[in-house]
Amino acid sequence: MTIALMVVLALAAVVWMTRPLWRAHLSNAGARQSYNVAAYRQRVADIDADLALNTLEDEAAQQLREEAAARLLSDTTTVDAASSDAESVQPRAWILALVLVTFVAGVAGVGYFRSDSRQISGWIDLARKDPEAANGLVVSSMLQRLENRLKSEPDDAEGWAMLGRSYFTLGRHAEAAQAYAKANALTAGSPDPDWLASEGEARAFQQQGDMSGAPAALFAAALKVDPGYPKALWYAGLAAAHAEQYGAALDAWLKLRDQDLPDDFRQILEQRLPELAKLAARELPQRTAQAAPGGTSLHLSVDIDPALNAPTDGSATLLLFVRRPQGGPPLAAVRQPFTGPIEVVLDDSNAMIQGNNLSSADQWQVVARVTRGGGVQAQSGDLEGHLALSRDDAATPQRVLIDQRVP
């Protein structure tokens, strides 16, 4: 379908380009003959006008008419000869047109088969039949181009890092490690923590999850460059835990816990921290969130009555939200795995609806709920605590005690 369309477009282009060749002998001859006839008629009219004004004798007028007619005949013969000449030239014009057709089609074909057009057309056809296979071909083609470019530009550190990411995404971990190693070697004077951690990650996968040796050393090197780099902290914690250095693992993950993390990742981290603290024979410290600058904030300490025997292994969810005393949608809310007492700072950044935040009210009702269901509505067996606050209370930390079981 694509090739047929190209042929049609090429022919249309050639027809338009050669239009003067096949129209010239018709248009030029016809136009010249029409002009000669009009000139003859104008000449005869001028002779008759002179004769009527007595500026010309009858005999002279007749002679002039005969000369005009002879000139018209002569011009007509010339036009016919020109038409005949054009007809004789016509085969040569069509030969030229044929050459143009061949040339244009050849250029279009070479351009099509040597450029990306043919390849892209193939991808489109394959995508209709097998989208996953087509995506694989696109990725492979892009990877091949990047590999070829790095052969001619081997000092491109960014290019090697990009190649490493591509290899890792494709599961080619050994090649990913090599590509990142080249990127890190080129930037040894100003190391990039992401590239160091990514090389360590690729080598750990290459070693079937074994993080000893080179992977652990690379994570440590990344943390020397940036002590708070999240990927390096995560993998450094894993490496330390695998080496049964649970205290070092806990330290790394506590630093990670204090950062702004995606909810899903934070849930995984919060679930694993209690177990890691037990292995390290240490008490898990409470996490303190930082208040956002400006607006109203509430400093809350969430505690629970030991008599309720609440699970603290992260299997239950803590829902903490603030609403107006009369009810309505929450003004602020947080959700996280419950691992025991915690300190939280709620502010306008925790609003669920823009403009409906803590600063929009002067009195609040705080609800802390531990639930296994995780839903917004309280369920039988959930553990809850309530606290009424006013704006004057926002200046000092407040304790919310979970001391009830929902019937």
- pLDDT tens for 289-328 read 444 445 788 999 999 999 998 888 878 888 899 999 888 7
Tokens of 220: 């440590």
Residues 175, 271 within the same domain: yes
Q: Based on the structure, what is the number of domains in the chain? A: 3
Q: How confident is the model at residue 148, as a pLDDT?
A: 87
Range in 135-144, 233-242, 333-342 the model is least confident about: 135-144
Q: 169 and 100, same structural domain?
A: no
Residues 97 and 47 in one domain: yes
As a whole number, mean pLDDT of residues 62-66 equals: 58
Over residues 165-194, the mean pLDDT reads 90
User: Where among 253, 279, 305 does a domain terminate?
Assistant: 279
Q: Do 105 and 40 belong to one domain?
A: yes
Q: Is residue 263 part of a domain?
A: yes
- In this structure, the answer to whether residues 259 and 375 fall within a common structural domain is no
Please report, in angstroms and rounded to a whole number, the separation of the first and last CA atoms in the chain: 70
Residue 382's domain spans which residues? 297-405
Percent of the chain with pLDDT over 70: 62
- Supply the CATH number for residue 261's domain: 1.25.40.10
Residues 304 and 362 in one domain: yes
pLDDT above 80 (res 130): no
The reply to whether 269 and 304 lie within a common domain is no
Integer angstrom CA distances of residue 296 from 63, 231, 281, 334, 391: 114, 33, 38, 16, 9
Both 266 and 314 in one domain: the answer is: no
- All residues at 6 or more sequence positions from 2 whose CB lies less than 8 Å from its CB, including other chains: 121
Does 246 lie in the same domain as 181? yes
Domain annotation covers residue 140? no
Residues 271 and 306 in one domain: no
Residue that finishes a domain, picked among 64, 92, 114? 114
